[in-house]
Structure 1
Amino acid sequence: MSKNRQIKEAKVQEIKAKLEKAEAVVLANYQGLNVEEDTQLRKSLREAGVEYKVFKNTLVALAAKEAGIEGLEGYLEGPVSVAISYDDATAPARILNDFAKDHKELELKAGLVQGEIYDEAKIKELASIPPKEVLIAKLLGSFKAPVSNFVYLLNAIKEKNESAESAE
């Protein structure tokens, strides 16, 4: 077997492992971004714990096929970058979508979220979901609100009783 083929097979196995381990994978067309914009995008993704790479489309298609993922190959045309998150399923979509709002050259193509293929519209919908930390804060706030209201009610009753006693 040739050295080149061995390198490609190793790369396919690496991509396959990433696809299998990922919570979310988002494909984007990055053509038209300049070096400064690409660097800014990579920094944003890295800070969120998202891996951002450019692989050969044929290698990604082979890796997806080996991983049992069907339907991704149709989106692997032209220059495609791959954003992979292992923890937060919304992070790659959210960051790429936010970046694309200011940089029209970046186009979301599709994604793979927890084993399901998402088209561009679904990826943009996923991008609208707030980060996990924000969702947890909202949940905790909703737990706290009824308790706070109950305490306020008890305090109001206590003050009413105290004012009634002092009036007597």
Structure 2
Amino acid sequence: MNREEKARIIEDIREKADKACIAVVTDFKGMSVEEMTDLRRVLRSSNVEYQVVKNTLARIAFEETQHEGVKDKFKECCAIAFGYDDPVVAAKILVDFEKKSKKFQARFASLDGKYLEASSLKDLSELPGREELLARTLGTMNAVPTNFVSLFANLIRGMMNALNGIKEQKEEQ
């Protein structure tokens, strides 16, 4: 690989790292091509890019990015998953794949510049995703006016029952 190719790869990784809200470094040693292809397909469907990198190129590329704190931790066989939209989705996919594959391992991550160990990444994967949090928020916001209307409807219904009771009582007399 000549200098121009290396410079292009470094710039590509740097651009991805700048855009990504999470960068997860994984170990893929011993995985088959089929397993890697399946992992990439699942990640791609969730707007997560997965790239095998040389450690020296990754160290250089991560300089002056928000994920600079992890640049000195690249060792052995590394691949990086860049999550752009929701960091929880990337963490969930990688942790689930780690459970399925005995050879795959998520080593560490950088979440908006904060270093996360593998155990913290597993904790992150257990959180609800962005879409689920939005749904919960909207459900809560919708519940307030709905409950308010129900409360007044019950008051009116109770008053109508009382008035009907008085009417029936007067008709009997």
**TM-score if structure 1 supplies the norm length?**
0.89
Select the residue among 85, 93, 99 that pairs with 1:95: 93
- After TM superposition, give the deviation of residue 66 of structure 1 in Å: 4.5
Q: Which amino acid aligns with 1:72?
A: K
Cross-structure match for 2:142: 144
For 2:145 and 2:54, locate their aligned partners in 1 and report how far apart those are by CA, in whole Å.
55
How many residues are paired up? 165
Gaps of 5+ in 1: none
Give the share of equivalent positions with the same residue, in percent.
32
Q: Is the 8 A contact 1:45 1:95 kept in 2?
A: yes
Q: The residue matched to 2:127 in structure 1 has which SS?
A: coil
Which of the numbers 53, 57, 66 marks the counterpart of 2:55?
57
Match of 1:104 in 2: 102
Contact 2:24 2:109 in 1 (8 A): yes
Root-mean-square deviation (CA, aligned residues, Å) is 1.7
Maintained 8 Å contact 1:72/1:117: no
What are the equivalent positions in structure 2 for 1:117-128 lying under 5 Å apart? 117-128=115-126
8 Å Cα contact 2:91/2:125 also seen in 1: yes
Q: Mark the runs of 5 or more structure 2 residues left unpaired by the alignment.
A: 167-173
- TM-score, normalized by length of structure 2? 0.86
Distance in 2 of aligned mates of 1:142 and 1:154: 19
Paired with 1:143 and 1:67, the residues of 2 have a C-alpha distance of 38
* Aligned equivalents of 1:98, 1:72: Cα separation in 2: 25
Partner of 1:21: 19
Quote the Cα distance in structure 2 between the aligned partners of 1:39 and 1:5.
29
